[in-house]
Amino acid sequence: MSVDSYLELFTTLFGWTFYGILWDVLLATGIVFLPFLGILIDNWREPAEGGEFGTVTGLLLRRMELQLFIALLVVVLAGQPAALTPLNASALGFTPPPTLIDATPARATVAAPQSTYGTTGFTGSAGTVNIPIWWYAVLSMSAGFNHAVIEGLPTASDMRTYEQQARLATVADPRLRQEVSDFFSECYIPARSKYQAERPATAPINALLTTYGRDDSDWMGSHVYRNTPGYYDTIRPAAQVTGWTYSAARDTEYDAAAPPTSGKPYCKEWWEDSIIGLRKKLIIAADATSTGFSSLVVAVAPALASEQQTDAVAKTVLSNSPPSWSNNDLINHNAGSTGLLNAAESTLKGGLAAGGAVVASALFSVTMTAVLQGLPMVQALLLLGMYALLPMVVVLSRYSVAMMVTGAMAIFTVKFWSVLWYLALWVDQNLIQSMYPDVNIFLQIFANPGEHDSKRMLLNMITTSLYLGLPLLWSGMMAWAGVKVGRSIDAATNPLKTPTQDAGRHGGSVGKSVIAKGIRHSYVGSLKSLKDKGTMSSPSDQITQFDQKPSDLSVSDGEKTS
């Protein structure tokens, strides 16, 4: 039997374990027998109040037999845990949906949970739990139905995994951070200053901008600076770079007889070297902080050239760990002024940044990561509570068939949330692809801050509303349907009660008629006796007056009249 989350592997077992404990308590205290006593009392009280007699007794016995039979059937099917339908821990399993990181995830079981559930928490669950036949059928049907629907739905791309992993890719090594800042100051700033001053519009440069984007010149690894003569191929840092050996052909400013410990590479080789180049180091840092991120970029954008894929990784890391100016000619903290003016400027910038961070956090706090991780846990814990409290519902409903149907619909409703979340995931992925049709732009912008923050935040809020709104809508619809089903079952059982109720009403009418006739004969006899004694001249008027309103006479009225 399949479940829908790691946690549900254990909450399912514990929920039905609590069910068995509560049922045993109700059985030991005799509470489970009270509904049967209620059936007997109701079938005695109703005819006694209606004044039924004769053949009505047989109908009442038939109704009582039917109600007792239905109650016993409910106890057998939905009340008493049955050894015929054991829930084995070895039969439970959860297979996570495939992701870009793990295309074939391992199936999680109670023995190998693939999580900390069951190892440091939720320990001690029973290996086998007996559950009632009806609820076992409901669980099996719900699990099979959910997975059949999910298998039938189109496959959803896993763009959100890229977003989550991209936020983790950063530079953790402070020495690498310093090297990035040095390259920014020694190579990128001079090259960009030259480019902005000259504004070249040659055919090779236009071809590079067409291939790599019009904003290619706005980042450190620009192909314009790397492939255009006079830029990275001629610019060198002012100081030696650790890790680069001295080269007599390149480092001509040093005495070859007394070479320095390190050399000063050209910016092009400093960036592009396949072993100690800065881009290579950034890719290694990305995979160290966000496992397999470079492979994830390839999976997201397989159509892009390898050069563009590696550039995307480097851009993501630089966005999360932006370089800072390292020239000492500026004032401390990169400030352009001193004194009170500098303090006011810093305060204003800090306030604006804090305000933007607060707004961004408020918008993103209701979005994807926490919601996606928390919803399956909420579902698993709700199911645990439903399973544990079912014995009370079974008994308090007086073993009603309508309760069985309504309870089954409630469990199915909560289990079906998994299908709705997959549907929301599919919608989310298609919205992402529609809003970012250019995969290169997606890699650069979607997971990185910038001018498109509002679009991404809007997308997150819309998608989150689907994850929360679809289950609420579905639960409301099923609640309405559950009420209708319960009423329909009650209506279906009404014909079984109607003959007895009609018989009781007719029996009461017949009884009243017979009593009224008996009172009339007694009354007429008394009048005749008075006439014979000479105390009444004409009793016919009195008899006529008695016959005018026979329906107004009750047993007590007749007794008083007589």
Residue 331 lies in a domain: yes
Q: Which domain holds residue 224?
A: 167-364
Cα of 70 vs its chain's centroid, Å = 37
Tens of pLDDT, residues 118-169:
778 888 777 888 989 999 999 999 988 988 898 888 887 777 777 778 888 8
Residue with token string 């390190």: 262
State how far the Cα of 183 lies from the Cα of 325, in Å rounded to an integer.
10
State how far the Cα of 183 lies from the Cα of 175, in Å rounded to an integer.
12
Residues 105, 95 contacting (CB under 8 angstroms): yes
Q: In residues, how long is the chain? A: 562
Residue 532 lies in a domain: no
Residues 101, 292 contacting (CB under 8 angstroms): yes
Residues 87, 1 contacting (CB under 8 angstroms): yes
Which residue, among 96, 97, 99, 98, has the nearest Cα to 296 in the 3D structure? 99
Residue 153 lies in a domain: no
How many Cβ atoms from other residues are within 10 Å of residue 263's Cβ? 19
Run of H or E including 86: strand 82-88
Residues 400, 74 contacting (CB under 8 angstroms): yes
Residue with token string 């607060």: 358
Cα of 191 vs its chain's centroid, Å = 50
Residue 42 lies in a domain: no
User: 3-class SS at 85?
Assistant: strand
State how far the Cα of 132 lies from the Cα of 140, in Å rounded to an integer.
12
Structure tokens at 245: 């050996």
Residue 219 lies in a domain: yes
Residues 178, 281 contacting (CB under 8 angstroms): no
Residues 414, 379 contacting (CB under 8 angstroms): yes
Structure tokens at 435: 């809003």
Question: What global pTM score does this model have?
Answer: 0.69
Residue 299 lies in a domain: yes
State how far the Cα of 212 lies from the Cα of 207, in Å rounded to an integer.
9
- State residue 348's pLDDT score: 43
- State residue 531's pLDDT score: 54
How many Cβ atoms from other residues are within 10 Å of residue 516's Cβ? 18
User: 3-class SS at 243?
Assistant: coil
Which residue, among 445, 419, 442, 440, has the nearest Cα to 432 in the 3D structure? 442
For helices 417-435 and 133-152, give the axis angle rounded to 10 degrees. 10
Residues 75, 528 contacting (CB under 8 angstroms): no
Strand partners, 217: none
For the chain, residues with pLDDT lower than 70 are 46-59, 324-369, 441, 444-454, 482-562
**Count of domains in the chain?**
1
Q: Please write down the long-range contacts of 505-508, taking CB distance under 8 Å and 24 or more positions apart.
A: 505/50, 507/50, 507/51, 507/52, 507/53, 507/54, 507/56, 508/50, 508/51, 508/52
State how far the Cα of 31 lies from the Cα of 461, in Å rounded to an integer.
49
Residue 414 lies in a domain: no
Q: What angle do CA 81, 87, 91 make, to 5 degrees?
A: 170
- State residue 553's pLDDT score: 43
Buried b (16+ CB within 10 A) or exposed e, 160-179: bbbbebbeebbbeeeebbeb
- State residue 261's pLDDT score: 83
First to last CA, the chain: 78
Residue 506 lies in a domain: no
Tens of pLDDT, residues 340-397:
444 444 444 444 443 443 444 444 544 566 777 888 888 899 999 999 999 999 999 8
* SS3 letters across 461-520: HHHHHHHHHHHHHHHHHHHHHHHHHHHHHHHHHHHHHHHHHHHHHHHHHHHHHHHHHHHH
DSSP 131: E
Instruction: Please name the residues in contact with 299: beta carbons below 8 A apart, sequence gap of 6 or more.
Output: 100
State how far the Cα of 486 lies from the Cα of 491, in Å rounded to an integer.
9
C-alpha distances out from residue 210 to 10, 207, 436, 505, Å: 55, 5, 18, 92
